[in-house]
Chains A and B, each alone.
Chain A
Amino acid sequence: MSAYNFAYLDEQTKRMIRRAILKGLAIPGYQVPFASREMPMPYGWGTGGVQVSAATLTPEDTLKVIDQGADDTTNAVSLRKFFERTAGVPTTEETTKATVIQTRHRIPEVELGEDQILVYQVPIPEPLRFLEPRETETRKMHSLEEYGLMHVKLYEDISQHGAIATSYAYPVKVAGRYVMDPSPIPKFDNPKMEMAAIQLFGAGREQRIYAVPPYTQVVSLDFDDYPFEPTKADHPCDLCGAEDSYLDEVIMDDAGTRMFVCSDADYCRSRRDTGHTVTAIGGTV
């Protein structure tokens, strides 16, 4: 513990990242460049989120790390251990007890409060990237608010699939100005982004930080005749019976048996602890 500065990064780096975070909060949805550091984990493991968390954490904080909704997968376990060792902060798996939540690809089902901070890991922060390869051009498009191209992508979806087939990393417009990539969360989570908690987004490899302040308007892009629809598997959770949560499909055997379970592991467990159960636990064919 004493071998590291609190939360691994040195104080100057944390100041630099905090400045980027503050700028991001002041201009919701704007991608602030920052001098991303080498972290002791590979790119793609959440180096951006880790740096934002490190700059955000205080010794009084309680940390929760989510990986695709779960607390017990490699990514979540490793990052939780990382901060246990380098910051010595208490960690939890319970969403309501955490003050800083670093997440990969999900927003918790439980509504977050004003005293919480949600940190997203972002692989590619630029929503226009696959439509316009030139960074100089995408920056200009952001600064001049030229977002017609984003709708071209949605148009292509409808013309090919009959509906907007983009199901994750669904582009949103923040506070009526910047179009933002909400990181690869399912579009089911998009409506939750108008929340009381602070949302911070860190992309380590791409060296960008952006943010959504509390109670900020976040609108998912759509067409008048093809409105945005948050989607999930049409099924209740096979463990806790929840019908309002985002589900993972789990293959049970090689005969096509599968079950649907809450992707948010903490939500599912807390429901089961309070008596919500499905009588016949098992697969559905």
Chain B
Amino acid sequence: MTPLLQVRDISRRYGARIGCSDVSFDLFPGEVMGIVGESGSGKSTLLNCLAGHLAPDTGQVIFDTRADGPVDTVIMSEPARRMLGRTDWAFVHQHARDGLRMGVSAGGNIGERLMAVGARHYGDIRAQASDWLGRVEIAEDRIDDRPTAYSGGMQQRLQIARNLVTDPRLVFMDEPTGGLDVSVQARLLDLLRGLVRQMGLSALIVTHDLAVVRLLADRLMVMKDGHVVEAGLTDQVLDDPQHAYTQLLVSSVLQV
């Protein structure tokens, strides 16, 4: 099977400091990969390099496109990469307001990606928007409300709907549950797990919350100081950590 995403030797430095260094891995269709590590370990830098928001200094990010097969997205033309960002890729930000248009209604937020790829039928766009609101458990009569009128958890669910409406194949998530209280987190994780399985999505989830990866991720990468220190199946890494830092990370979780 061709991997959906092949990452080869991605490095990104900020002057003399290392953002992330020599990261390589494969992600297969339908697989969810977790990236954990403490703050400043280079998780977000890596994710932004992969999603095309940051240009990596070296390395390749080869994505298996629908039309042309595997293509290196780092050297791809900008229009093509931005097109990919609107169709086959999705990016869920930690803060919903980074990923949403706060001045536009929920329906408009969901419809934006559809209109960006050429949908020009209002009725169809609206029907899809209300269908997706239902899928992320937001009441359909809230379709004309602005995200500013939504709670934090709803904003995050709206952001997910807005991203998934064009049936992407790869979702990048940067701390999708950050800043939400635990019960809302649990519902969001439940929802995400359902959507990922239903749609057969591949996902890369950056988080510092081990519970999130335990629930969602098939495989896990542990990062420290810009390097990947351990990688493997989620349960294997969490239950039998080999590297000293992973052991510290796992033992730091408070058992209630």
Binding partners A and B? yes
Interface set of A (CB-CB < 8 Å, partner B): 131, 144-146, 148-149, 151-152, 155-156, 158-160, 222-226
* B121 interface hit (Cβ, 8 Å): yes
- Report the count of interface residues on B (CB-CB < 8 A): 23
- A155 near B79: Cβ-Cβ < 8 Å: no
Known: A152-B108, A159-B107. A146 touches B122 (CB 8 A): no
Q: Main secondary structure on chain B at its contact with chain A? A: helix
- B117 near A156: Cβ-Cβ < 8 Å: no
Picked from A146, A156, A225, A226, the residue with its CB within 8 Å of the CB of B104 is: A156
Chain A hits for B15, CB < 8 A: none
CA A243 to CA B205, docked complex, whole Å: 63
Residues 84 to 141 of chain B near chain A (Cβ within 8 Å): 86, 101, 104-105, 107-108, 111-113, 115-117, 120-123, 125-126
CB distance from A149 to the nearest CB of B (A): 7
Most interface-central of A156, A159, A223, A224 (chain B CB within 10 A): A159
Chain A hits for B123, CB < 8 A: 225
Can you sample 30 A-B contacts with CB below 8 Å?
A144-B78, A144-B79, A145-B79, A146-B116, A148-B112, A148-B115, A148-B117, A149-B112, A149-B115, A152-B101, A152-B104, A152-B108, A152-B111, A152-B115, A155-B107, A155-B115, A155-B122, A155-B125, A155-B126, A156-B105, A156-B108, A158-B122, A159-B105, A160-B144, A223-B121, A223-B122, A224-B120, A224-B122, A225-B123, A226-B122
CA A131 to CA B105, docked complex, whole Å: 13
Chain B hits for A149, CB < 8 A: 112, 115-116
Most interface-central of B78, B115, B123, B144 (chain A CB within 10 A): B115
Residues 33 to 86 of chain B near chain A (Cβ within 8 Å): 78-79, 82, 86
CB distance from B148 to the nearest CB of A (A): 14
Chain B hits for A222, CB < 8 A: 120
CA A151 to CA B115, docked complex, whole Å: 7
Chain B hits for A151, CB < 8 A: 115, 120
Q: Which residue of chain A has the shortest Cβ distance to B114 in the bound complex?
A: A148
Given A155-B115, A159-B143, 7 additional A-B pairs, CB 8 A? A144-B79, A149-B116, A152-B104, A155-B111, A155-B126, A159-B107, A224-B121
CA A158 to CA B123, docked complex, whole Å: 10
Interface set of B (CB-CB < 8 Å, partner A): 78-79, 82, 86, 101, 104-105, 107-108, 111-113, 115-117, 120-123, 125-126, 143-144
Chain A hits for B105, CB < 8 A: 156, 159-160
CB distance from A246 to the nearest CB of B (A): 27
CA A145 to CA B101, docked complex, whole Å: 20
CB distance from B107 to the nearest CB of A (A): 6
CA A222 to CA B120, docked complex, whole Å: 8
Chain B hits for A131, CB < 8 A: 101
Q: Which residue of chain B has the shortest Cβ distance to A130 in the bound complex?
A: B103
CB distance from A115 to the nearest CB of B (A): 38
CA A156 to CA B126, docked complex, whole Å: 11
- A152 near B144: Cβ-Cβ < 8 Å: no
CB distance from B102 to the nearest CB of A (A): 12
Chain B hits for A146, CB < 8 A: 82, 116
CB distance from B132 to the nearest CB of A (A): 15
CB distance from A108 to the nearest CB of B (A): 32
Q: Which residue of chain A has the shortest Cβ distance to B118 in the bound complex?
A: A148
Q: Return the 8 tightest CB-CB contacts between A and B, nearest first.
A: A148-B116, A151-B115, A148-B115, A223-B122, A224-B121, A144-B79, A152-B108, A152-B112
CA A142 to CA B112, docked complex, whole Å: 17
